[in-house]
A and B are shown apart, each in its own frame.
Chain A
């Protein structure tokens, strides 16, 4: 038996540590943990409820918009505005959410996960004419290889041509993701941490110049997705085909649904959306979502066992730092007692199971073009493919939504701050389902709870010792070289983990440094 510890896992958002136990070169057991705690739930207490949409964005600089969105949904509900949000505001919120999804998915594929597959260092021998690549060559030739070297060595399989093209797209994608943020700022004011999405609607009025400037930008990004991004994923798939068979979590898929479409009500269980809401098992049997069935279990987390299996709105966080057998600061969220995988793949699987036509059409068409079958998506590279399709679906829809805006119509409804109220906001971050629950007492925040995508995906074992999706995805994986555990980091990154989100909502008390680590 051999233990491999990866700390920190870089090219993700936040601070993550992974420990795998190898037995005969295969992963016997995997344990993931976050190594930073900021205490957002504690910080939010006692504040003006409206500040939640700004403060919670600072949970994560890569997907602040998902928090802004879930947060304003929770506030709208608490303020009694759910069915009063004007159309313009609904659309602009969708455009802001979509813009950031595009930048996040592109950033993830090219800049965070890409270097696990693409060999930038080989460009030191580049002989072609591409100006960007020549710059890269000069850069490497100057003996300067950071931040691209060192890295895990070994299995980089792309041929020279594909490798060169992907390297040049790594550089091109830096510009494209930046443009997605520029597009977002048209209605969101600035990014990261937009100011447009607020309780009651949005702050920015649509005007024709903004609409057309948005439209042109989204079209440019659509071209990139169609002509570059999707093809690049395919090229990786061709050379790393075995990763279509590795890394399935075997868990059910969960999607809270996102991008409200036809009505101004943002009720979480009615209304039509681009992404449907629900759960689908790996065989794509569909269940409707009943948010009351979400609980958080703590048997293997450092919290009092008495607090286990509660709904987030009634959650209590009582640390029990020396609890034997526990190994994570993450709680284990469960739906009806079962772990769930969330993210682009889950959104597609749930949408597909609904028979929701845009999702089904896109998935079927793309799979046919690649001569792949549906189960192939449930894998390490399948997640990357799903993320690219997710970007395409959203970008194409955005180009239609933006022209539905009506200059001159309202973007905001005024409201009175309630003394006592409760609210729930459910939405989708680029990396999966995000839920916010707020309780207001005496006009200020009394309790605020967040259950975020990476808590679902990187959850530890639960009360009945079922591992979380990421841990399950790693089990049984063959690791060829334990000093260069590429297989492990590839599978972990395919989930696009965001640990900044996941571990910041707990109160470790009196925990000693040496106990803080995961064994």
Chain B
């Protein structure tokens, strides 16, 4: 059987590399499997460009990127990690140069997006702007969707938010594309997140929910009880952390006694913060929809 190679270009913008590190924490398949093996029968990922993992440096690696842009036009998946600085033409973030001038992340993203089969925005930064776009957003950072709309680029976009996202959310999305093709609008919520992973509120599946219902609230960190009074953002945060657990299933945020920070939502971190203060403005936080 001929093995299909799905080219992937992984661009890093204004982010912290935490999303990449999180994907490296994937258990089954492991990052080794993702790099080398058929992720699903008959399909390999071909990671053409990834700044943290690739062997090449400097011009050599920019050439690889541009080569893939040209030769694999219309067939590669663009993964965007990190936010896109747009203030003053995007001068706050550059990758490589062209004719002696640095090239902005913004223009790299736009150029690569135009030739891509689909875009996966990994992490809150790439999906919604995230931390770099936090008030007062000194570099004019934007999420992928805003930039695509502004540039009138009509390529399917899947958002995998989280700061960082759980590796399964990314791997599951990729597996879906390899097995069944691109996700249909029905598979995604109104924020372009796969419903399979972001379909329910943390609060709906939280093991501390009985405490909430009984009104037994923890008064300080480290205590038993619901963490609502200590700032938990579970009541408006969509993700399956309570069911999936993190890092090979050993623990998760509320499991470790911390309030949920709301990191899969566009309101992270400005409205979701202060993180350790009870939700005061339900209006802004977009109450549960479903």
Alpha-carbon separation in the docked complex, A50 to B258 (Å): 13
Stretch of B110-118, B132-140, B151-159, B184-192 that contacts chain A: B132-140
**Interface pair A512/B16, CB less than 8 Å apart:** no
**Interface pair A58/B16, CB less than 8 Å apart:** yes
**Interface pair B273/A7, CB less than 8 Å apart:** no
Categorize the interface residue count of chain B. 35 or more
Query: Which residues in chain A, 371-408, are within 8 Å of chain B measured between CB atoms?
Result: none
Q: How many A-B residue pairs have CB under 8 A?
A: 288
Q: 1/0 per position for A128-161, CB-CB distance to B under 8 A? A: 0000100110010010101111111000000000
Alpha-carbon separation in the docked complex, A186 to B248 (Å): 10
Residues of A within 8 A of B137 (CB): 43
Residues of B within 8 A of A37 (CB): 85, 92-93, 139
Stretch of B27-35, B172-180, B282-290 that contacts chain A: B27-35
- In the complex, what's the smallest C-beta–C-beta distance from A116 to chain B, in angstroms? 9
Alpha-carbon separation in the docked complex, A499 to B123 (Å): 20
**Interface pair B251/A189, CB less than 8 Å apart:** yes
* Cβ-based interface call for B275 (8 A): yes
Residues of B within 8 A of A512 (CB): 91
Residue in A179, A182, A196 whose beta carbon sits within 8 Å of that of B258 in the complex: A196
Q: Give B51's nearest chain A residue, CB to CB.
A: A10
Stretch of B94-102, B193-201, B208-216 that contacts chain A: B94-102
Once A15-B95, A42-B138, A205-B257 are accepted as A-B contacts, the answer to whether A147 and B250 lie under 8 Å apart by CB is no
**Interface pair B21/A192, CB less than 8 Å apart:** yes
Stretch of A59-67, A234-242, A271-279, A337-345 that contacts chain B: A59-67
The count of chain A contact residues (Cβ–Cβ below 8 Å) is: 91
* Cβ-based interface call for B225 (8 A): no
Once A14-B17, A42-B138, A50-B274 are accepted as A-B contacts, the answer to whether A414 and B163 lie under 8 Å apart by CB is no
Alpha-carbon separation in the docked complex, A200 to B25 (Å): 29
Residue in A136, A196, A517 whose beta carbon sits within 8 Å of that of B101 in the complex: A517
Q: Give A171's nearest chain B residue, CB to CB.
A: B32
* Cβ-based interface call for A191 (8 A): yes
* Cβ-based interface call for B55 (8 A): yes
Q: Give B276's nearest chain A residue, CB to CB.
A: A50
* Cβ-based interface call for A36 (8 A): yes
Residues of A within 8 A of B63 (CB): 150
Alpha-carbon separation in the docked complex, A209 to B39 (Å): 34
**Interface pair A6/B57, CB less than 8 Å apart:** yes
Q: Give B26's nearest chain A residue, CB to CB.
A: A178
Residues of A within 8 A of B21 (CB): 61-62, 192
Once A203-B222, A414-B220 are accepted as A-B contacts, the answer to whether A13 and B14 lie under 8 Å apart by CB is no
**Interface pair A174/B131, CB less than 8 Å apart:** no
Residue in B16, B36, B50, B250 whose beta carbon sits within 8 Å of that of A213 in the complex: B250
Once A147-B49, A178-B30, A192-B21 are accepted as A-B contacts, the answer to whether A513 and B54 lie under 8 Å apart by CB is no
Alpha-carbon separation in the docked complex, A113 to B25 (Å): 19
* Cβ-based interface call for A218 (8 A): no
Q: 1/0 per position for A409-437, CB-CB distance to B under 8 A? A: 01110100000000000000000000000
Residue in B97, B222, B247, B252 whose beta carbon sits within 8 Å of that of A182 in the complex: B247
Once A185-B246, A198-B221 are accepted as A-B contacts, the answer to whether A191 and B47 lie under 8 Å apart by CB is no
Once A61-B164, A186-B251 are accepted as A-B contacts, the answer to whether A15 and B52 lie under 8 Å apart by CB is no
* Cβ-based interface call for A472 (8 A): no
**Interface pair A10/B57, CB less than 8 Å apart:** yes
* Cβ-based interface call for A51 (8 A): yes
**Interface pair A58/B18, CB less than 8 Å apart:** yes
Residues of B within 8 A of A171 (CB): 32
Residues of A within 8 A of B222 (CB): 201-205, 410-412
**Interface pair A185/B257, CB less than 8 Å apart:** no
The 22 sampled A-B contact pairs (Cβ below 8 Å) are A35-B94, A42-B138, A48-B274, A50-B275, A58-B18, A60-B17, A60-B18, A61-B164, A120-B55, A139-B37, A142-B5, A147-B54, A174-B32, A189-B251, A191-B246, A193-B164, A198-B276, A203-B222, A203-B257, A508-B92, A511-B91, A513-B88
Known: A107-B24, A112-B52. 9 other contacts (CB 8 A): A8-B57, A10-B56, A35-B94, A55-B131, A135-B37, A178-B248, A181-B247, A185-B247, A410-B222
The 3 A-B pairs of least Cβ separation, nearest first, read A61-B18, A189-B256, A48-B274
